[in-house]
């Protein structure tokens, strides 16, 4: 759904805050390294809040900083309740929120809800058996079998392609079914 644009001549005061805001996206790993380990981190972002304010930033859009194996730049979240140790701690994110609030800068957290990491506990449970309570939290399908010559070949449920490359379906031998992943195979889609 797209939001309607304000009518020509609409007064700035009549608009929502985000219609006139300067929103600055920060990818934590490359923004500011505060401890010399080669990765940007939350303390590094906190150290640059005055600079962001001087630029006229009204909101910071923070790319994922949750715990992740980092197959896809942090968009493969393995734990929504923890901050990736490369970036800091939950205490660091709480300090970032307070510090931004003190200078009237909003924080928009990039929350990935289309998929998780295949390392997430939900997926490990879903994958454990066809009768697990979390099985339908992800999209599982039986594959097809086709005969080529004298050989029976297993194929995915359909010809859907991943955004990255190859099939959008990954075979799981443990339960003899395929799970859907519209991005990397390590990013199973939530149902």
Number of domains in the chain: 2
Could you list the pLDDT tens digit for every one of the 191 residues in the chain? 455 555 555 566 678 999 999 999 999 999 999 999 999 999 999 999 999 999 999 999 999 999 999 999 999 999 999 999 999 999 999 999 999 999 999 999 999 999 999 999 999 999 999 999 999 999 999 999 888 888 888 999 999 999 998 999 999 999 999 999 999 999 999 99
What's the rounded Cα separation, in Å, for the pair 168 and 77? 19
Specify the CATH number for the domain of residue 105. 3.30.750.90
**Residue 65 shares a structural domain with residue 137:** no
Q: Which of 35, 6, 30, 3 is closest to 20 using CA atoms?
A: 6
- Does some domain include residue 8? no
Q: What pTM was computed for the model?
A: 0.84
Question: Do 55 and 135 have their domain in common?
Answer: no
Classify 45 as helix, strand or coil: helix
Longest dimension (CA), the chain: 73
Whether residue 157 contacts residue 170, with contact meaning beta carbons closer than 8 Å, is answered with no
Q: Which two tokens stand for residue 88?
A: 């800091």
């Amino acid at each position: 759904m797209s939001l309607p644009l304000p009518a020509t001549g609409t007064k700035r005061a009549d608009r929502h805050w985000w219609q006139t805001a300067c929103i600055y996206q920060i990818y934590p790993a490359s923004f500011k390294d505060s401890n010399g380990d080669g990765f940007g981190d939350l303390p590094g972002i906190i150290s640059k809040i005055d600079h962001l304010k001087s630029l006229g930033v009204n909101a910071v859009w923070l790319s994922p900083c949750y715990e992740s194996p980092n197959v896809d730049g942090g968009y493969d979240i393995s734990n929504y309740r923890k901050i990736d140790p490369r970036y800091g701690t939950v205490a660091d994110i709480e300090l970032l929120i307070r510090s931004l609030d003190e200078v009237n800068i909003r924080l928009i957290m990039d929350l990935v809800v289309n998929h998780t990491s295949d390392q997430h506990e939900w997926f490990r449970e879903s994958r454990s058996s066809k009768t697990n309570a979390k099985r339908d939290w992800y999209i599982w399908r039986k594959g097809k079998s086709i005969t080529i010559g004298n050989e029976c070949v297993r194929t995915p449920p359909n010809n859907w392609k991943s955004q990255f490359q190859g099939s959008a379906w990954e075979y799981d031998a443990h339960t003899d079914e395929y799970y859907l992943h519209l991005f990397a195979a390590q990013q199973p889609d939530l149902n």
